A and B are shown apart, each in its own frame.
Chain A
Amino acid sequence: MGENSLIEDAKSGNKEALERLIEKYAPLAFNLSLKLMRNYDDASDAAQEALIKVYSSIKKFKGKSLFSTWVYRITYNTCIDLQRKRKNNIIYEPDETIKDPKPLPYDEALSNEKKENIKKAINALPDKYRAAVVLRDIMGSSYDEVAEILRCPVGTVKSRISRGRDMLKEMLSEYMEQITPN
């Protein structure tokens, strides 16, 4: 069964179709939450909340955007809410670490912890840049989709992605020079 028919079935009250949809999008919601929340348990909580919202308001999905965009938007908003509840409202505040971005240590960069280094760099980004970069480069959303998820103009999305990537480039510069020789 195609995704569109699955969505239509779910909207018309077919619980099995809805549960299959939820199951399909659970890893995406969790991975987005993980990149946005910085904390594994919080990410799990946020993804659960987001998917419950998807479950309970499936009829609100009008099909004007991709279903994945709708799920990402709910997940993103849920993450913002949860961060606020955790008294850790860092959505609009730059991280301390980003004020003086330093390249990660050379040895560490060369180790098999490549993935961890990149994660650390992503986590060091201020939230608004991180959200844009994660949605674009990790979740694979288009600029228009990112704009819809973040509810901001495409021009803002472009500048956030550009700025976020530049910060990552600065933080990972030594490492990137090693893994991408001329």
Chain B
Amino acid sequence: MKNNCEYIKSLLSEYIDDMLPSDKTQEVHLHISQCASCAEQHRLLCAVVEELKVLPTEPLPPDFLSKLSARTDTLKGRRFSLPPLKGFSAVAAGLLLLLLIRTGYNYYSLSQIKTAYIDDAPIETQNNEPLLPDKPTEQVKEQKNIEENQDKSLSLGQNGIAVENSSNEKQKSKPEERTGALQEQPKDDKIEENSSQESPPDESDETEVTSEMAETRMFSLPVENDAGEDAQNSPRAARANAPAAGGSFYTAVHDNDQPSFVSVKIMVDDFEGAAAALAKKYGVKEQNGEVLLELNNDDFQQVMNLMLEYGARVEQSEENELLTANKCIIISKNRD
């Protein structure tokens, strides 16, 4: 009888919601008419549910609607100015990058300038405070690595076009190398990874060339607003082949030597495929319809490029807190 009672108790919640098939409903009904213990459990459960149903609705905070109204007014004004600006900056970034690649621009010279204006637009939406706490030891070590790699950077930079040719092979081999490091380290340590130790100095393509410039990088992300239906509906291939529209992700160096991180929500067409790929490469599991990752810049870029294959649309969160790693939330495009 006890085992049967446990079984009946497991059905009580659905029983009171009339969600059981008729045979099970009969079974529970018969049982609680004969078993005092289960009948008591049924009575208590009904009482709890009734109490929840009659909980009073809390009134809105006094200034809630006025604040909301002020925000929607702001939104109305912004709607006419922001999208063209964002579109313009994306096109400008793409043209600049194309120009650099076509002319075989000496990336080493760029590293001397230590400023690349390719990808500032999305980051400007963040606050201007330093995004990482000071890490003097790390910085000294990183600077040392930069100096050690300088000769290699020079030879690489002198051959800007040759760099582009070997990019695919290098990119394919990179995730596997990184995966081990990522899985071996505890989550909190991910942000401490010294990317200079993991990035081979002879890596190529426009992304990896910039990894020679310095250890501190930012990423250019195609930021779209919530109402960006057109971008959402555009074919995956078109996105992947259109750098100016955010089809690829770039790294760059900025004047301050502080690593900067971003928090992004990546909405993909094929969530299951994306989750499986991330599970395979990084050992992370999907939870409740999303995959959460905290990544250093190298891995972040790998993930971004990987997600493009699954129709990624990226929204950058406007976080006010200090970020200690790139935060990615991968969800299905249809979730929101």
Are A137 and B47 in contact, CB atoms less than 8 angstroms apart? no
Distance between Cα atoms of A150 and B71 in the complex (Å): 27
Q: Is B140 an interface residue (CB 8 A)?
A: no
Using a CB–CB cutoff of 8 Å, the interface residues on chain B facing chain A are 9-10, 12-14, 17, 19, 41, 43-45, 47-49, 51-53, 55-61, 64-65, 67-69, 71-72, 75-76, 225-227, 229, 265, 287-289, 292, 317, 319, 321, 329, 332, 335-336
Report Cα–Cα, A74/B331, bound state, in Å. Answer: 13
Chain B residues lying within 8 Å of A22, measured Cβ to Cβ, are 68, 72
Q: Please indicate which of the listed interface residues B65, B69, B288, B332 has the most CB atoms of chain A within 10 Å of its own CB.
A: B288
**21 A-B contacts, Cβ less than 8 Å apart?**
A22-B68, A22-B72, A27-B57, A27-B59, A27-B60, A53-B336, A55-B72, A56-B75, A60-B227, A84-B292, A91-B288, A118-B51, A138-B53, A138-B55, A152-B289, A165-B48, A168-B48, A168-B52, A176-B47, A176-B48, A182-B43
Interface string of A85-104 (1 = CB under 8 A from B): 10100011000000000000
Write the residues of chain A forming the contact surface with B, with a CB cutoff of 8 angstroms.
15, 19, 22-23, 26-27, 30-31, 34, 40, 44, 47-48, 51-53, 55-57, 59-60, 73-74, 77, 81, 84-85, 87, 91-92, 114-115, 118-119, 122, 128, 133, 136-138, 140, 143, 150-152, 158, 161-162, 165-166, 168-169, 172-173, 176-177, 179-180, 182
Once A57-B227, A77-B336, A162-B10 are accepted as A-B contacts, the answer to whether A48 and B68 lie under 8 Å apart by CB is yes
In the bound assembly, the distance between CA atoms of A173 and B51 in angstroms comes to 13
A138 and B71 in contact (CB under 8 A), knowing A56-B225, A143-B19, A165-B45?
Answer: no
For the residues of A in contact with B, the DSSP-based class is helix
Query: Distance (Å) between the CB of B315 and the closest chain A CB?
Result: 11
Among A19, A53, A84, which residue has its beta carbon within 8 angstroms of that of B226?
Answer: A53
Q: Nearest B residue to A44 by beta-carbon distance?
A: B61
Q: Give the chain B neighbours of A87 by CB distance below 8 A.
A: 321
- Distance from B79 Cβ to chain A, minimum over Cβ atoms (Å): 8
Check A52–B75 contact: CB distance below 8 A: yes
Residues on A with C-beta less than 8 A from B12 are 162
Say yes or no: A92-B288 contact (C-beta < 8 A), given A85-B319, A158-B19, A161-B13: yes
Q: How far is the CA of A136 from the CA of B53 in the complex (A)?
A: 9
A47-B64, A176-B44, A180-B43 are known contacts. Are A55 and B288 too (CB-CB below 8 A)? Answer: no
